[in-house]
Amino acid sequence: MNTQILLLLSALAALVLVGCGKEDSPQPPTTNDTAKAKAPQTVFSKKLPESSPAPLPTPPPAERQPMQQTRQRILGEIVQLIGKPSAGLTGEHWKAIKARYWKPEFDRVVQPAAKPTKVQDLLAVPKGKESLIAQILTGRFSDISDKAEQDAMLALHTLALVTATSGGTSLPAALEDRKGDANITRGDLILFEVLDDAFVDVQRREQVSKAELDQWTQLATSHNSLHRLLALRTYRRVAPNPEQWLDFYRAYVNEQDQGILEEVTDMAFQTAKPEAAAVLAEIRARPSAAANPDFAAKLDRSIDFLQKLPSRGQ
């Protein structure tokens, strides 16, 4: 982990009054089942977007001090606004932060609901460009010249890290004011990027309450496809076991975005649990799956493979 990320996490530890220890990217627990589940390439075996990104370039020493000062100033502003939220952020905290940092440009629609495209296409980084997260973490904004907008990016990423390090329960609150809008805005993209990044190395919870699960499920069935994708990726990182993941994946059996549906099927298959076959069978039964012969064939092979795994207790 490079220097600027460590410094930011150290500052966050003081802000939220909880540990910011990072662990390896969440992976399914190793069991006899997973050892037997080395799947052929004909079933879902694509690597999921769970691993930590490649190390970012460290800014030259001359650039580090101003960047650190900017982060410290923004941390101070956040404390002035919401105090030290040791129990996690609330919807009111997020409202206060957005009232201070949200810019009109963030409400610009980048994908109208009437013209949906594969949501992952919106997240693709153009060749020769740095991702938004790379720019935030290095403090070198190649695409954003407005200082107030740069501050907003840093503030939102800071709050995303606070959300992750305090258990992740307040993630749905960050999107509460957007859940009814199917149009994807620039602000939706920004929140997706900072929250998806913050939750890569989050520590799993011992349990997720029914109320919290209901909030994540609302995101999973949101009109906004970017919110659905974010819920899919983050819930797996906080929920404690594959059985809970599989229950959650059932919220996606009617998913219309093919890219999201493929991630769901990959995640379900890679639990290496026989129970995952039932989830994939529900997806296979949908007309949209039958309309895609290659996808349907992969589902069939994956279901067959999972059904042959030994059940618990065998």
pLDDT in tens, 79-106: 999 887 766 788 889 999 999 999 999 9
Position 278 scores a pLDDT of 96
d(CA 129, CA 123): 12
Position 313 scores a pLDDT of 53
Instruction: Judge contact between 81 and 96, C-beta under 8 A.
Output: yes
Structure tokens at 232: 């899919």
Catalogue the E-assigned strands of 16-146. 109-111
Instruction: Judge contact between 176 and 91, C-beta under 8 A.
Output: yes
Q: List phi, psi (to 5°) of 57.
A: -65, 140
Residue in the block written with tokens 């993209």: 189
Residue 18's SS3 state is: coil
Nearest 10 degrees: Cα torsion 262, 263, 268, 272:
100
Q: What global pTM score does this model have?
A: 0.80
Residues of the chain with pLDDT under 50: 1-7, 10-11, 17-42, 44-47, 49-54, 56, 62
Position 231 scores a pLDDT of 94
